[in-house]
Amino acid sequence: MKKFHKNKTFTLILTCLLISGFEVFADFNFQTELTKQELESLNKSPLIKTYETEHSWPDVVLYQLIEATALESVAIFYALDYQNQYIPNLKVSQVIKTVSPTIVHTRYVMGMPWPLSDTEYIHASELSHKKPSSYKVKWWMVQSSSTDKVEGYAIFIPYKGKTLMKYFAHVQPKSFLATLVKNKMVKDVESSLVATRKAIEETKAKRLDLMKKYVSYIDQALLGKKVY
């Protein structure tokens, strides 16, 4: 009887681990979410989809193609101490805590439109990898003066010699912000991600030293070495 229960427990644990693994890897097959026409349209411009929620702001999903490899793309996207150099209105991006080689806390200061004051927040972000060459970054709020909850992710997969990127963001703003910048929020997401794509492509073309630096950060972090 004891042996039966032990085997049953082991089977349940193994099943849970397998299911969890399938869920993680299923994220990387997101291109099946898009029609053939939508995929073709990405050669011209990003595709944005919004989904209404019970909260003030909708969930935002953006897809875009990047003229770089998935590794090069995630390297600049996850260049946490460099993001303020290319994301519009982002004044500060400062790594303040390394939880593990792949989990880091970053302090941000974002400029806000008048009459609002700049907003400061801390996000945790986690890097993961599906072999051979797909990557995922997910993030969540640690502390914020402007939001009650933030969570999201970005996935980078090889696609026809380029990188197909999916970005998802769920944000619950504090009540005083909800109506003031709701209409601007989706536009800001798009402009930030278009700027990110431009930064990736320009870094690949013109700043090989910088690209090499942040590519090495990704490789080292996934090998278990702290880079921040």
Residues 21-33: pLDDT tens digits?
Answer: 434 446 898 999 9
Residues 150/164, Cβ–Cβ less than 8 Å:
no
The per-residue b/e assignment along 6-18, b for 16 or more CB within 10 angstroms, e otherwise, is eeeeeeeeeeeee
Q: Which helix (H) or strand (E) holds 75?
A: helix 70-77
pTM for the model stands at 0.85
Which DSSP symbol is given to 45?
S
> Residue 101: which residues within 8 A CB-CB, separation 6 or more?
220, 221, 222, 223, 224, 225, 226, 227
Q: Is 221 exposed, middle or buried (0-12, 13-18, 19+ CB in 10 A)?
A: buried
Query: Which tokens hold the place of 213?
Result: 């630096």
Residue 176 pLDDT grade (very low, low, confident, very high; cuts 50, 70, 90): low
Q: Where would I find the beta strands (DSSP E) of the chain? A: 47-51, 59-66, 90-100, 103-110, 119-130, 134-144, 147-159, 162-173
Task: Examine the pLDDT at 192 and tell me if it is beyond 50.
Answer: yes
- pLDDT, tens digit (0-9, with 9 covering 90-100), for 206-218: 999 999 999 999 9
